[in-house]
Structure 1
Amino acid sequence: MYLREQKKLTARLRAVLRDKFQIELDTIAIEQPPEIKFGEYALPLAFELARKLKKAPRKIAEEIIADLSPLEGFTRFEVAGAGYINARLDRAAAARDIAAGADVPALEAPVHSLVEHTSINPNKAAHVGHLRNAILGDTFVQLLRAAGQKVDVQNYIDNTGVQVADVVVGLMHLEGLSLKDVEALMARLAADGQRIDYYCWDLYARVSQWYNANGDEAVSQERKALRLLTLHQMEQGALHLADAGQKSRETARIAEIISTAVLRRHLETMLRLGIEYDLLPRESEILSLHFWDLAFEQLKTKGVLYFETEGKNKGCWVMKRPGTAQAAQGDGPDEDAKVIVRSNGTVTYVGKDIAYHLWKFGLLGRDFAYNKFFEYPNHTCWISAEHGEPNHPHFGGAQAIYNVIDSRQSDPQANVIEALRGLGYTDQASHYTHFSYEMVALTPRCAEELGYTIAEEDRSRPYIEVSGRKGFGVKADDLIDKLIVATQSEVDSRHPEQSEAERTQIATEIAVGALRYFMLKYTRNTVIAFDFKDALSFEGETGPYMQYAVVRTRSIFRKAGITAEQALADFASVDASPYLAGEEGDGIWQVWLRAAKTTLLLDQCIATAEPAYLAKHAFQLAQEFSNFYRKHHILTEANPERKKFLLATAAITQRELIRSLAWLGISAPEVM
């Protein structure tokens, strides 16, 4: 309702400005007055027009409001201060509209969007930082779908990259295992109920220490050379080169076995948080299906890449930097140019990413083959392949792309966008969004609770960074388990009448809600310091606080002997005007108005790629309902009409909280 009325007001303003002043504005800013008693919308446009019209803002505002009325849904317009225009809704009519149903405006032309998120290197267990990526991405998918967009969810698998190579180095050179030994290891871990992703977590940290060679630089360089050799062998094996040799094929096979097994574990971990995917495109197929060869030809033909013949990048294919020309003879090489193909012929991450994004936009002229990989309750997750099943969904060819990748990857992401522009795909480049975010760290208290020894000087720090290479961090499954255990004891004590399975389900919903909200309430450019106590609190800005607000509304309706839907139906015959007037009415109207803004927040979150705004909205609605609940005794209200109104207030709160939480990926338990 709020967004619809705002659009109606904007359209009327445009007409007034056009007829009265012959002015067309690209955007018209609309704010909310500082206090609800001054109205529902505040317009500062008179200040913007003052210089153009050479009049005082207040005079302009007076002239505008003279032509705004009458406007259906609004009672009056007023000039405030030096020239603000305040607009007042017909509260009773608006309340009927709010109670009638939740409105999500249909898109004039639904967009086909592709959201890539999670994209964990398949070399070890997922950790707490990966959870922020996955939760942000999954929530944004829910928002886009709620707005009517067609969304494909992709999880890019870098199964031929350096991190996987490190684990292969650990298996082959640190552990001394052959391909058969690795196959036997996998069988043994499965028989013993041990997890391959946890095994690789420890191995990855050990390999990182092994590379260091206790400070012996010569040995360290020799060992790190094994990483490059292994990486090269993996790529040769993935390309099925005839001259790859048995060693390369064996190395590539080990990488495939490990990365596929770890990937499956990642999907199982994310499913615990309700996170699902449609497609798992793998780097190995980008290589084997020669995506890069097609992209390489485009890049060379359009002059985006050139071959460097001197300097530190001699023998490499490099990309021109934006705003620079290729160095003329005698000028010397551009030492800062981005290397896309190394002198040994291997393609960098950015190069493969350019090819991948040409496919995403349907600009490559080639497609993956596809195989079924993972079954969700309601759909299948597919994986890229060289030779696949004949009947599969269509992937790629998106109109808009959102890549959820941490802020440290800003430069590579910018390189891909510049490559698209250089190729002439300017429209696609403008619809390519790097959905960046900052890291997740641990509070010192949280690190100690997890069993880590914290140096005295670190105890006073706001957070401690995690490091997979050092083995310092929180495995995602361990974190989820610990949150559930912490919640379970509270649920068990409060609801002994429930079955064990029911109590576990409630504890899981609370734990997942706490984790997801904690990751979403901070804006993306904020470093998060995770803390168990803060996340699980039933007070303050937490997931459990909002879940409890829904539980409270359900308790109200159980005791009243009606449903929330019945309460809204009963409200249709109530004249709400007396209950929305005066100071007391302002307080109750604040709850209704907040509930009416859910669709507005959906619109804002998509426009800014910032789910934190919806998280804040849900918290504020829960908070305002809590204030309302303390002041008004709903169940003991003697006036039948007023009681219907108060019950309707609880009903619209419940509806909008459940809807907002669902878009955040948070369920609302029946009891807590």
Structure 2
Amino acid sequence: MPDYNFFRKKFATMIKQGIGALEVPLANLEISDLIEIPPDSHFGDFAFPCFFLAKKLKKSPVEIAKELTSKLDKNKYFEKFEAVGGYLNVFIDRKFLANDFFSSQSIIPEIKSKKERVIIEYLNANPNKPLHLGQARNICLGDSLVRIFRFLGYQTNAANYSDDSGVNVGYNLVAHLSGDYPLETMEKFDHYCGRVYLAMREKESDPDFQKKLEEVLKKIEEDDPEVIKIQRQIVKQCLLAQLQSAWNINSYFDLVNWETDILHSGLFELVFQKLKKIKRINKLTEGRLAGCWVFNLRGLKDFSGLENQDYVLIKSNGLSTYTAKDIAYAFWKLSKPKIEIKYSQLIRQPNNQIIWMTDSHFGKDKKDFGNYDWAINVIDKRQELPQKIVSLALQEMGVLAKKKYQHLAYGVVYLTPKTLSKLGIKLTLEEKNQPFLPFSSRRGWTVNLDDLYNKLFEKIKSETKEKNPDRDEKWVDLVARKLAVATIRFSLAKVDKDRDIIFDLDEALDIHGATGIYLEYTYARLKSILKKSKGSKLLVQKKFDHQPDELEFEIIKKIISFQETIDNVLNNLSPHYLANYLLDLARLINLYYEKIPILKSPAKVKSFRLKLIQSSVEILKLGLNLLGIEEVEKM
């Protein structure tokens, strides 16, 4: 089955030949990149702007478009060419597209496996508190990309980098080592850790506490046996609780990389010795950063606006910064260091897949992790500077000569006051009148993923039970779970990754809005039509003597643009292209359902219309699954 790119390339070839007939040198110009899709299909399916040719030909774009049109002949792919303004517009032949579309064995693109190995790192939450809605956005972006990369044939691993040596974990470790807080609790452990952490934050201005904190962090880096024993117990138990939250929304991993294993395996020291050979990295002997190892950024265009041109990698007290450890980790991702990383099994997940973890103390297994061709790091946009430093260090070490390292930056999540109030958070009158509020753990303006998921699950379960009184509890629970996941994941996936999100609970549950619930409703509605057709032989018919009308043609065009949509996701590392594509398809097919009595159609066109519904169902299911959403056949 031809996809939209097939027609784009055919049109580009014709344009190139037409321009050649006008005796215009093209150099290395890529015609297909210039082709646009008109905002209104009445102006055609593709448009070629002629403005750039005006100077070369010394003619107006309008005149050039008319001349080009005269050079192009109608063929089986295109039924009409029009010059409008400075554009040459082309119309795909409807009957050709419809017959080719329906004669294809599958509307799902055929994908060949690729040799490239990819690691997509996401979640990356400190293992000392529950996951919040901002981290849920990270999960939805990362997990969706893992699914899409695998669909495209890449050998892809999903990794979670757990910062178990940083200052946040240090707060909790001081609390437990002091004996103020036991390690046992009946509370979900990540929630318990979050409470302990907030209590310790109240002491951060205390010099005695700061001294204990620095001592603990130093002992973690030095691999002190007594401290490491308790530290590993805390972070592992907290991580497992966090993973339960991720599993609730259908996110699974291949590997957990502990930050302490970067330090204790010898990887950090090996990489740091390489960094010392870079001219821009040196140890300062005077000034406020005396004793620190820094990256000198002076004279580099990307860092010209920084007030401080010395970026600290190792503090004067010998402690490594997050960025320094990230450089070592990134080096492992894209190369094969001369050290042996050991692994052990962490846990078998609900999808029956094992998560492996680095284990420099007790690991006995060797695994084929590391030395990837492409590393993608899903980290919010506030970490743009450290990620640039990591990329610069890799470049200076020669790692990026044949490998790719990309930071997928994304916007933060805000909450509407109405949502906070519905989740039981008390606000002042002034706060209630704000359009949105930022996350603030100290003020209680946070929504953790567990609470949101449970709130949605109970609300949807109640409504589903009311609509389906004859269904048993197991069925209702399953549907409610799928719809809760769809609500969360779609709300966080549909927005361009570069934009911030203002999350509103009511909007996310709107069955008629741009929501996951709306897509599930559409899928269930279409499945109901197919079920009522009772598996008619009409569905296996491959040739159709039917000229598609305007709406049918738009639906077919939308379906065949699926591959182009996936390409956009890949090129921009943003699943929102797929999410919005599914919305567009759902709106078109719902409009079609409302306008056309599909099951009562004349026999001549009934097969065509049922096949169109069936094809839409297949694409909706695939698209939802790639976004980590399980389809629901009845709501």
Fold match (TM-score > 0.5) = yes
Task: Name the CA shift for 1:611/1:49 in 2 (closer, same or farther; >3 Å).
Answer: same
1:88 corresponds to 2:64: no
Question: Does residue 1:663 correspond to 2:615, yes or no?
Answer: no
- Structure 1 residues 278 and 424, CA, compared in 2 at 3 Å: closer, same or farther? same
Query: SS in structure 1 opposite 2:213?
Result: helix
Query: What CA distance in whole angstroms lies between the structure 2 residues aligned with 1:525 and 1:620?
Result: 21
* Deviation of the 1:427 alpha carbon: 3.4
Aligned to 1:331: none
Q: Closer, same or farther in 2 for the Cα pair 1:18/1:364, shift >3 Å?
A: farther
Amino acid paired to 1:54: K
Q: 1:388 to 1:574 in 2, by over 3 A?
A: farther
Counterpart of 1:230 in structure 2 is 216
Structure 2 match to 1:78 = 82
Question: SS state of the match for residue 210, structure 1?
Answer: coil
CA RMSD of superposed structures (Å): 2.2
Which of 477, 483, 486 is residue 456 of structure 2 equivalent to?
Answer: 483
- Give 1:121-160 correspondences, 5 Å limit: 121-160=126-165
1:515-664 matches, within 5 Å, as 515-562=488-535, 567-570=538-541, 572-577=542-547, 580=548, 585-637=549-601, 639-664=602-627
* Counterpart residue type for residue 57 of structure 1: P
8 Å contact from structure 1 (residues 37, 586) kept in 2? no
TM-score normalised by structure 1 residue count: 0.88
Alpha-carbon distance change, 108 to 473 in structure 1, aligned in 2, over 3 angstroms: closer
Conserved? CA contact 2:335–2:399, under 8 Å? no
* Structure 2 residue 231 is the aligned partner of structure 1 residue 255: yes
String of CA shifts for 1:369-409, please: whole Å, max 9, x gaps. 11111213343211001256665541111111111001111
Q: 1:102 aligns with which of 107, 120, 129?
A: 107
Please state how far the C-alpha of 1:167 moved relative to its aligned partner: 0.9
How far did residue 573 of structure 1 move? 2.3
Q: Is 2:245 aligned against 1:269?
A: yes
Alpha-carbon distance between aligned partners in 2 of 1:667 and 1:96, rounded to the nearest angstrom: 31
Whether the aligned pair in 1 keeps the contact of 2:113 and 2:153 (CA below 8 Å) is no
Question: How many Å separate the matches in 2 of 1:103 and 1:3?
Answer: 15
- Looking at structure 2, the residues matched to 590 and 388 of structure 1 have their Cα atoms a distance apart, in angstroms, of 59
Show the counterpart of 1:330.
none
Give the Å deviation of 1:32: 1.8
Partner of 1:406: 380
Tell me, in whole angstroms, the C-alpha distance in 1 between the residues paired with 2:7 and 2:96: 12
Q: Is the 8 A contact 2:425 2:444 kept in 1?
A: no
Q: Give yes or no for contact 2:140–2:489 (8 Å, CA) kept in 1.
A: yes
What whole-Å deviation, never above 9, does each CA across 1:489-525 have from its counterpart, x for those lacking one?
Answer: 1110111222110111011111110110111111112
Report the Cα distance in structure 1 between the residues aligned to 2:473 and 2:230, rounded to whole angstroms.
42
Bigger CA drift: 444-453 or 130-139?
A: 444-453
Compared with structure 1, are the counterparts of its residues 532 and 567 closer, same or farther at alpha carbon in structure 2 (3 Å cutoff)?
farther
Shift of 1:131: 0.6
Name the counterpart of 1:163.
Answer: 168
Q: Which residue of 2 aligns with 1:416?
A: 390
What is the identity, as a one-letter code, of the residue corresponding to 1:432? Y
Q: Distance in 2 between matches of 1:156 and 1:468?
A: 23
- Following TM superposition, by how much is the alpha carbon of 1:157 offset from its aligned partner in structure 2, in angstroms? 0.8
Match of 1:306, SS? Answer: strand
Change in CA separation of 1:10 and 1:364 when aligned onto 2, cut-off 3 Å: farther
Cα contact 1:73–1:89 (8 A) shared by 2: yes
The residue identity in structure 2 corresponding to 1:646 is: R
Structure 2 residue ranges without an equivalent (≥5): 302-306
Is 2:58 the partner of 1:54?
yes
| Alignment coverage as a number of residue pairs | 622
Mapped partners of 1:107, 1:462: distance in 2: 47
The residue that corresponds to 2:197 in the other structure is 204
Instruction: Report whether the alignment pairs 1:397 with 2:397.
Output: no
Q: How does 1:390-469 map to 2 (within 5 A)?
A: 392-427=366-401, 431-468=404-441
Which position in structure 1 is the counterpart of 2:4?
2
Would the aligned equivalents of 1:204 and 1:469 in 2 still touch at CA under 8 Å? no
Counterpart of 1:41, as a letter, is F
TM-superposed deviation, 1:552:
0.6
SS in 2 for 1:635: helix
User: What one-letter code is carried by the residue in structure 2 that aligns with 1:421?
Assistant: Q
Matches within 5 A, 1:274-293: 274-293=250-269
- 1:235 and 1:252 in contact (8 A); partners too: no
2:308, 2:64 → 1: CA distance? 57
- Does the C-alpha gap of structure 1 residues 568 and 33 become closer, same or farther in structure 2, counting only changes over 3 Å? farther
Distance in 2 between the 1:550 and 1:261 partners?
Answer: 39
Q: Is 2:38 aligned against 1:38?
A: no
What's the CA shift for 1:107? Answer: 6.2
CA deviation map 1:433-455 (0-9, x unaligned)? 21111222221111111211101
The Cα offsets for residues 576-614 of structure 1, whole Å up to 9 and x where unpaired, read as 22xx2xxxx212221221122111110111111121111
Structure 2 CA distance for partners of 1:157 and 1:455, relative to 1, 3 Å: same
Cα distance in 1 for partners of 2:201, 2:280 equals 36
Q: Is the 8 A contact 1:304 1:423 kept in 2?
A: no
| Paired amino acid for 2:261 | E
Cα deviation for residue 347 of structure 1 reads 1.2
Please give the alpha-carbon distance, in whole angstroms, between the structure 2 residues aligned to 1:633 and 1:344: 75
- Percent of aligned pairs sharing the same letter: 29
Spell out, residue by residue over 1:96-137, the C-alpha distance to the aligned partner (whole angstroms, 9 max, x if none). 333322253646955322110001110111111111100111
Helix, strand or coil: the match of 2:475?
Answer: helix
Structure 1 pair 54/393, CA: closer, same or farther in 2 (3 Å)? farther
Find out whether 1:69 has 2:45 as its counterpart. no
- Structure 2 distance, partners of 1:601, 1:322, is 41
The 10-residue stretch of structure 1 (379-388 or 609-618) with the greater mean CA deviation from structure 2: 379-388
Relative to structure 1, the CA distance from residue 363 to residue 313 in structure 2 (aligned partners, 3 Å threshold; closer, same or farther) is farther
CA distance in 1, matches of 2:51, 2:127: 55
Where structure 1 has 5 or more consecutive residues not aligned to the other structure, the ranges are 213-219, 238-247, 326-333
Alpha-carbon spacing, 1:555–1:108, altered in 2? closer, same or farther (3 Å): closer
Q: Distance in 2 between matches of 1:103 and 1:668?
A: 17
Q: Which amino acid aligns with 1:282?
A: W
Q: 2:129 touches 2:191 (CA, 8 Å); kept in 1?
A: yes
Distance 1:659 1:371, change over 3 A: same
Alignment match, 2:304: none
Do the aligned residues in 2 keep the contact of 1:75 with 1:89 (CA within 8 Å)?
A: yes
Cα distance in 1 between the residues matched to 2:434 and 2:576: 25
Residues 89/26 of structure 1: CA separation in 2 closer, same or farther (3 Å cut): closer
1:555, 1:89 → 2: CA distance?
Answer: 32
- Conserved in 1, the CA contact under 8 Å of 2:345 and 2:357? yes
Question: What amino acid is aligned across from residue 569 of structure 1 in structure 2?
Answer: V
1:294 aligns with 2:270: yes
Structure 1 residues 270 and 634: alpha-carbon distance in aligned structure 2, compared to 1, 3 A threshold: same
Structure 1 residue runs of 4 or more that deviate by more than 6 Å after TM superposition: none
**What is the distance in 1 between the residues matched to 2:544 and 2:453?**
46
The offset of 1:15, in angstroms, is 5.0
1:495 aligns with 2:463: no
